[in-house]
Structure 1
């Protein structure tokens, strides 16, 4: 799903009005009606008090359309105009007149110094105060109104975006933004719904279709894309009937040190389970027996050193190399990797201490194969690109880094973001159960295994992150968040693949048979 910028949404509004030969007020009517339909489907006439707070711009106009339809359908509605300025948008005024004329109910005007209305804990608040166009400081009395919303503990639904939240900026304070239980967003989700510092302002969100021009949606390139099942199904490469293990590449996993052979085992298992035809692990001698006994499907090459990697030398010709898991940062290991990086031409997926070593020797970044994949956790990312002031600064720095070195960077988190050049691919799968030792090693193996099969590194990254999260989503149904471990993610990869092509009713039947 494309995530449009403010400017693209405004342009889409304009083209929709022009191409469909409607007025902007008609488009606002669609938006407010879509919210009403959402409400009506869930409430079915229930007489819970609904408090609709409308600003004086287009977001407020959407709220007025909603209020008018709810009143006509007999709901218990109280409508308020948050009068923070003397200026009103044209379509707000049109709908202000419509609600007065058609319902004979005049909204209550709220201005500075007025008492705020009583709101019960079991009431519903609709926040339609500010939309995506907010570009000015918020009056103190309006911030107190937001605080009043919060203190009421009523269910709060925001129209398009929680009021006070901007699409390209982290708020200066939590007090500046409405805390929504649910947000109904038009056309596209907003990037701020997925960033750690701003996602907290809405617990859930949903996109409503308001009949945007389909040609515009299809043709417009966006900086950010949300990756779900519909986006990854076209990435999947079916297997030919006459294929064999040699058709699906050879993954080499280089890593491990004394006490950290498990990281290589997890990455190697993940690479094979995701479909790599062959997998070889390159480890210090202490890893030979654990790997041969615990993972018999893998081939093993050992360093001459017992406890750490001191030299990387092999005669096999791998399709791709996954490097860094559990490898450590001993001086001989650093020296060995520096020599390896200078000589290697094979595609790379680099994780953990492989990234830490690169951050200490940034000149090596310039000689990495094109589209090398880096999978840092937050601290490793900071060592790589330096600190950042907020999530937007972080994204900008990663994009700059990606362009400078022609690498793919995977920012791991609740919504893992794959960054390549100026593009962001935001993952929709995964859960808190992945906050466990070894889950990053598994992701490294998955991406390595996909590249081995011939997937482009960027596609392997986006697809691999999705499968990693989806496998965890399926596994957590059996194990819960706390008991999910990295091995479960590997074990459920097959179900993650099958889920791509299961219809919803098939998924439901499968759940019932468990």
Structure 2
């Protein structure tokens, strides 16, 4: 698990004031990190194009040009000149080596470094900037972004377009802007450059974290004398579209729940033999999952009353975002996870009276809207699905960046609900169930061996057996 920050200005200032490291020293380390990456890169790299902006991000690029000069055919392009104090200083140093910037953008390069605008970029690119980024994106070259790809604003949105990097070498620490859904197609692989002190020294307190594969804690069984009753009883409420509940239930069973029952007022034909069904909520229930395929008109009064009376852990998904009686569950259940995609989340915010926003609003500020929801319901764990799924609770946000296009098919969300609900049933806390269920979901996608367009929900369920 790694720390994520909104920005690194305070962290840099701490280096100046506490560790007596100057801005110049930090910049040399930033450029040296890019220098090492380029020298270690095994692809074509004889011709290196560095496009540097007028500020300190550009100064990093100018410094890099100095470090590469003599060993590579370096073209330094300064479309806006060098304007910040550090950019001017680094430019003066570069000139002492006899390397002059090129006056026009070269047509070809083996490796392109984008050092135009970094974390301070906020206003939209002007016409010149748009044309330049578009030209860089069309080049057939390996592309490296310095700190943050040009065009990505602090919320992680292309403004209006962005440099498409194969790798982003971000300076000092991970930034929130790198992990928006809109930024994911542009950042490529992400590496963090140390700036003169180790990251554990440079970084301080944060409330945002990046999840990694190593954080996954599967529900392995250690007791050789265990039986099914030790691993919980998951009940999945089945409504209008029973297939969604079956997928959820099978995922929950495969992920370790001791018993799984579909709770429904109608009889299911051809139900998998491993699943049970009941018209009422069994007394042994340890978690309820509801919403997937339920329908907006469905109101399981007895189930709702039993959940509230016994304070059973509950997972709420999909159609639950549209029904008014979601509010008493969120307000009164002490162990609750809600798992909407952006459209459902926008409807949930409206249903709860928090705000009326569009899907675009949600996607443009996923972190902000997740935090606003959790301020209203601090005891609820939110799993906001997306390219980079957010798990948010009580002021903390965890980012799962491991998702792939394999998950872009019907039933994927039902599988996620089953994974999380299964862990709730087995005694995980809501936050740990959400984190580990989300990680399991993305690991299933990453380990799928077929073409990424070919996976089905059933394939994901089958893959659960190999997650340990």
Q: Same fold (TM over 0.5)?
A: yes
Distance 1:221 1:198, change over 3 A: same
8 A contact 1:400–1:421 mirrored in 2: no
Distance 1:223 1:82, change over 3 A: farther
Distance 1:402 1:365, change over 3 A: farther
Q: Choose 129-138 or 366-375, whichever is displaced more.
A: 129-138
Question: CA shift at 1:80, angstroms?
Answer: 2.6
Question: CA shift at 1:318, angstroms?
Answer: 1.4
Structure 2 residue 130 is the aligned partner of structure 1 residue 163: no
Equivalent pairs, count: 458
Question: CA shift at 1:130, angstroms?
Answer: 1.4
Distance 1:16 1:152, change over 3 A: same
Task: State the partner residue of 1:273.
Answer: 254
Distance 1:83 1:378, change over 3 A: closer
Q: Which runs of 5+ in 2 are unaligned?
A: 350-355
Question: CA shift at 1:38, angstroms?
Answer: 0.7
Task: State the partner residue of 1:64.
Answer: 62
Task: State the partner residue of 2:116.
Answer: 129
**How many angstroms apart in 2 are the aligned matches of 1:334 and 1:142?**
56
8 A contact 1:355–1:380 mirrored in 2: yes
The 5 A counterparts of 1:93-492 are: 93-101=88-96, 103-108=97-102, 116-120=104-108, 122-135=109-122, 138=125, 140-168=127-155, 170-174=157-161, 177-216=162-201, 220-233=204-217, 239-257=222-240, 260-287=241-268, 289-291=269-271, 294-296=272-274, 298-301=275-278, 303=279, 313-330=280-297, 333=299, 339=305, 343=309, 345-357=311-323, 360-361=324-325, 363-365=327-329, 367-385=331-349, 386-388=356-358, 389=361, 391-405=363-377, 406-474=379-447, 476-477=448-449, 479-492=450-463
Distance 1:21 1:136, change over 3 A: same
**How many angstroms apart in 1 are the aligned matches of 2:357 and 2:132?**
35
**How many angstroms apart in 1 are the aligned matches of 2:230 and 2:307?**
27
Question: CA shift at 1:41, angstroms?
Answer: 1.0
**How many angstroms apart in 2 are the aligned matches of 1:160 and 1:456?**
36
Task: State the partner residue of 2:47.
Answer: 49
Task: State the partner residue of 1:501.
Answer: none
Larger Rg computed on CA atoms: 1
8 A contact 2:312–2:333 mirrored in 1: yes
Give SS of 1:185's match. strand
Give SS of 1:79's match. strand
Question: CA shift at 1:396, angstroms?
Answer: 2.3
**How many angstroms apart in 1 are the aligned matches of 2:45 and 2:451?**
37
**How many angstroms apart in 1 are the aligned matches of 2:294 and 2:301?**
12
Q: Choose 417-426 or 177-186, whichever is displaced more.
A: 177-186
Q: Which runs of 5+ in 1 are unaligned?
A: 111-115, 304-312, 498-514
Give the 4+ runs in structure 1 shifted more than 6 A.
235-238
